[in-house]
Amino acid sequence: MSKVDLNRSVRESNDAVAARNRQAFAAHGVFAMNIIGSPGCGKTSILEYTARHFNGRFAAVIGDVKTALDAERIADCGIAAHAIETGGGCHLNAAQVADAIAEMDLDAVDFLFIENVGNLVCPSAFDLGENIKVAVLSIPEGDEKVRKYPALFVRADALFINKVDLAEHCPYDLERVKADARHVRPGIRVFETSATHGTGFDPWFDFLRSVSPA
Amino acid sequence: MHELALCQDIVRTALDAVEVRSSAVVSIALEVGALSSVNMEALEFCMRIVLDQEGLPHTRVEMTPVPARARCGCGAEYEPEDVFGPCPECEGFDREFIGGTDLTIRHVEVADEQS
């Protein structure tokens, strides 16, 4: 019997492609965000509201298990949107994003939203080459999500708590969620928003302006 | 449920590493980090499916769990009982995770050629 030592990370091939994506973003002055949250938490609405505020220089890559509905919704706002239909896949990988950005004019883009498949688990484990990971939670999901899905929040740079307009209708301990997130990820930026009503976005816009490569 | 895709990568990597001796793979040893977003039961289940498809129904899969490991801003390194656990030295939360985040193929065992 002979033993072949490998000591190789299973995500090595994905990480190599992610590194190339990251280089492409840097070379073209693109700030890329990997948006991760449950189905229906408001990822697309946050993207729409943000893109309208900045009026152009935005592009989106949108992953869905089936249909290009979200990408069509974004394109209706006048934003360049590329749909990735994962056909059952529960997360985006770096190669899918590489294919998508190969078809884009990155020089015309300052901010790239990569909307991951609606899921709080595996999207967090796959680097896409983004500058930051953004977790999105919403009030109706309940206030124990950080505790239940810590792997995402350990890696997230920013957290949206969306649908705050529904707080009065749902038992939700906002302070607990923020404390939980800061426990697993000290320094995480938290934005409390209602994308439907457009409230709470100013700190987010200030943040984006502060990181804008343009 | 991304374990199946991971298993396809694992088995492809393992077979590539042993090249012509792929039919003689006796075992594949994996390390599964506590923060790797991989479910060990699902991983084992999917490894069996992929190995069966590759004509390797007798190849064993050895999985070793790797606990999370953290380094605190105060300099202490520790194994957090859960990701909400504070630093045992300073009771702070200013730490980064330095272990248990990965899924790694440790080694592949191959039967010696029989003449």
Q: How far apart are CA A113 and CA A111, in angstroms?
A: 7
Domain edges within chain A: 13-211
Q: Which residues pair with A5 in a beta bridge?
A: B107
pLDDT of residue B5: 83
Residue B85 has pLDDT above 50, yes or no: yes
Q: How far apart are CA A30 and CA A13, in angstroms?
A: 23
Domain edges within chain B: 3-66+101-110
Q: What is the pLDDT of residues A86-111, one digit of tens each?
A: 887 788 999 999 999 999 999 999 99
Residue A213 has pLDDT above 70, yes or no: no
pLDDT of residue B115: 45
Q: Is the Cβ pair B37, A122 closer than 8 Å? A: yes
Task: Work out the average pLDDT over A131-146.
Answer: 96
Q: How high is the mean pLDDT of chain A?
A: 91
Predicted ipTM of the assembly: 0.81
pLDDT of residue A166: 96
Which among B37, B61, B84 is the top mutation candidate for probing chain A, defined by the most A β-carbons within 10 Å of its own β-carbon?
B37
Q: What is the pLDDT of residues A149-201, one digit of tens each?
A: 888 998 999 999 999 999 999 999 999 999 999 988 889 999 999 999 999 99
Q: Which residues of A touch B103 (CB under 8 A)?
A: 9-11
Q: What is the pLDDT of residues B97-110, one digit of tens each?
A: 899 988 999 999 99
Q: Residues A92, A75: contact at Cβ < 8 Å?
A: no
pLDDT of residue B114: 63
Structure tokens at A114: 């990569």
Calculate how close chain B gets to A175, using CA atoms only, in Å: 16
Q: What is the pLDDT of residues A55-78, one digit of tens each?
A: 778 899 998 877 777 778 888 877
Q: Which CATH class is domain A13-211?
A: alpha beta
B102 at A interface, C-beta within 8 A: yes
Centre a 10 Å sphere on the Cβ of residue B5 and count the other Cβ atoms it contains.
17
Q: Is the Cβ pair A3, B107 closer than 8 Å? A: yes
Q: Which residues of B touch A183 (CB under 8 A)?
A: 83-84, 86, 93
Task: Work out the average pLDDT over A196-208.
Answer: 96
Question: Could you name the CATH architecture of B3-66+101-110?
Answer: 2-Layer Sandwich (3.30)
DSSP B24: G
